[in-house]
Amino acid sequence: MSVLVNKDSKVIVQGFTGSEGTFHAGQMIEYGTNVVGGVTPGKGGQTHLDRPVFNTVVEAVEKVGPNTSLIFVPPAFAADAIMEAAAAGIQVIICITEGIPTKDMITVKEYLSDKDCRLVGPNCPGVITPGEAKCGIMPGFVFESGRIGVVSKSGTLTYEAADQVVKAGMGISTAIGIGGDPIIGTTTKEAVELLMNDPETDAIIMIGEIGGQLEADAAHWIKANGTKPVVGFIAGQTAPKGRTMGHAGAIVGGEDDTAEAKMRILSECGIHVVASPAKIGSKMAELMGVSA
């Protein structure tokens, strides 16, 4: 099996006809992802990228039966787009949109609490199962199929880790970019748990950053439940306290939010922590007995 997306995923794109949706949907189709249509209110009945356009997600579900949605809707409308997908029965909702107001995401989290779906993001690069489905904005050519899972708050570090893993003679089972906003759908712990339970994943790379408790929560879960080796990296080791760095959620509010404190917690929980992102691939190769 794979995690979240695979060759059987039937994908729609919300914000399909906009510039971002058009570009990345085209890239996804070229990669081989099964994009079955898209949603742009007011443009239903048209064809775009040789796929049908629908006015609503409900209509798309009725006509082409998607189970996954990619959201490229502008920030002011993205929360409604997420909730629309959930209400229509979409199982995996991946929101790429950056800059959604935190207040809107509070509403989304509450709305999704009793829905049978999983949200990834917002402000994330998406999810990729190499050779099967690319659902997001990541450069597909970097990823090759293998048995190393990746969970990351950072898009660029996801690509960097994947490139190192491939160059070290291994490959990626599924890479999950969870996003760097203060309120997100799938947490680090939840993403790690998915990969830990995936029989086609042998080891996990966990990339975090300053701010919040997501990495610490994941580390404690790994200590109690982990069955596979985990390589960890925390970005933001030189970040000043009290300043947002890159992602809206990357702000040091207390002693446990610093990169140093997180690295210590991860190490104490049995995670193999590297001080530089340049060491991610070689450390994983060492743990897997592969000559890098």
- What residue type is 121 in one-letter code? G
* CB environment 230-266: b (16+ within 10 A), e (fewer): bbbbbbbeebeeeeebbbbbbbbeeeebbbebbbbbb
Looking from the CA of 58 toward its CB, the CA atoms found within 13 Å total 3
**Among residues 24, 48, 220, 247, which one is catalytic?**
247
* CA-wise closest residue to 258 among 241, 246, 275: 241
Helix, strand, coil % over all residues of the chain, rounded to 5 = 35, 20, 40
* DSSP class of 191: H
Query: Residue 277: beta bridge partners?
Result: none
Question: For the chain, first and last CA: distance in Å?
Answer: 27
Note if 247 is an active site residue: yes
Looking from the CA of 175 toward its CB, the CA atoms found within 13 Å total 37
Q: Which residues are catalytic?
A: 247
